[in-house]
Amino acid sequence: MMLAPIRLIATDLDGTVLRDDKTISRRTLAALRGAADAGMYVVVATGRQAGQLPDEIASCGVSHVVASNGAIGKNLIDGSTLFEDFLQPDAVSALVEHLRAEVPGVRVSAVRDQGARHAAEPGYIELLTDMEKVPHWWHMVTEPLAQVVSQPTLKLVVRHPQLSADDLLEVVQASGLTGFHATTSGAPFLEIGGDGVTKASGLIRLCELLGVNAEQVLAAGDARNDLEMIRWAGRGVAMANAVPELQAAADLVTASNQQDGLALAIEAVLAERSKRWNRLATRS
């Protein structure tokens, strides 16, 4: 069966585009640029905030970002916001109440102002890793917990001094509560968005605006928060360093982020595109 031509590349950042030291290889940059130059949309789909992209991304043809695990979409060419989906205060309040009862010591932070501000309850900042304490583009403000949970948020971030993100996910999944979507990304915290909000839901909204079908999308990632978009895309690509459930769901497992796995997948698409054009040229 002939595969549909790829018109949009959607890629995760950490563990996919980025190597373990948070740099991007020349080969990966060239592959992304090559896809853009070939007329494809190149989209970052990330758990990061929309403004938290590596500087190199601007040079390699990325036109859109779906950030906060699908909660917000932005056009990077003109800076416009295309959509926002929020986690509602009633769901936040119920989650926080349950977590504080089940795992004392838990602390939460809410993403505000399209990711430019993080409202953190007292004690949250003390749980940041050393890397996270380096000054960032965003502003983190400590606020009373009642204020943190009182407004809609793009993403609720949950930390504990001893428990891992996977441990916290198990607690949330066993709660029986609804009205949210919880996931992990390999970072040392649990990430909670609005009901049904995933990278896939964000890409679906973006693709509707761009006139692109799911079969025309190649999506690549490595973590649990990439699972829905890998299943949805016409071609789901898991990195060799991906979690087992993502590799099982993918159409293709490529090399790791340390070995230019994303570049290999994009280069294969570009080679396939070139063959299609050559066949068309021969027929004409």
Per-residue pLDDT of the chain (284 residues; tens, 9 = 90+): 567 899 999 999 999 999 999 999 999 999 999 999 999 999 999 999 998 899 999 889 999 999 999 999 999 999 999 999 999 999 999 999 999 999 999 999 999 999 999 999 999 999 998 877 766 656 889 999 999 999 999 999 999 999 999 999 999 999 999 999 999 999 999 999 999 999 999 999 999 999 999 999 999 999 999 999 999 999 999 999 999 999 999 999 999 999 999 999 999 999 988 776 555 444 54
At the topology level, CATH places domain 89-194 in 3.30.1240
CB-facing half-sphere around the CA of 189: CA atoms within 13 A: 20
The confidence score (pLDDT) of residue 278 equals 54
Q: How many CB atoms lie within 10 A of CB 154?
A: 25
Angle CA(155)–CA(143)–CA(146) in degrees, nearest 5? 75
d(CA 259, CA 16): 10
Q: How many CB atoms lie within 10 A of CB 137?
A: 10
For the record, the structure tokens of 238 come out as 């898991």
The confidence score (pLDDT) of residue 275 equals 73
The confidence score (pLDDT) of residue 238 equals 98
d(CA 22, CA 258): 10
The confidence score (pLDDT) of residue 132 equals 78
Task: Answer whether 191's CB lies under 8 Å from 148's CB.
Answer: no
The confidence score (pLDDT) of residue 281 equals 47
The ranges of the chain annotated as CATH 3.40.50.1000 are 8-84+198-283
The confidence score (pLDDT) of residue 214 equals 98
Q: Which position has the token pair 């490529």?
A: 254
The ranges of the chain annotated as CATH 3.30.1240.10 are 89-194
- The architecture in CATH of the region 8-84+198-283 reads 3-Layer(aba) Sandwich (3.40)
* Numbers of helices and strands, H then E, in the chain: 9, 14
pTM for this entry: 0.94
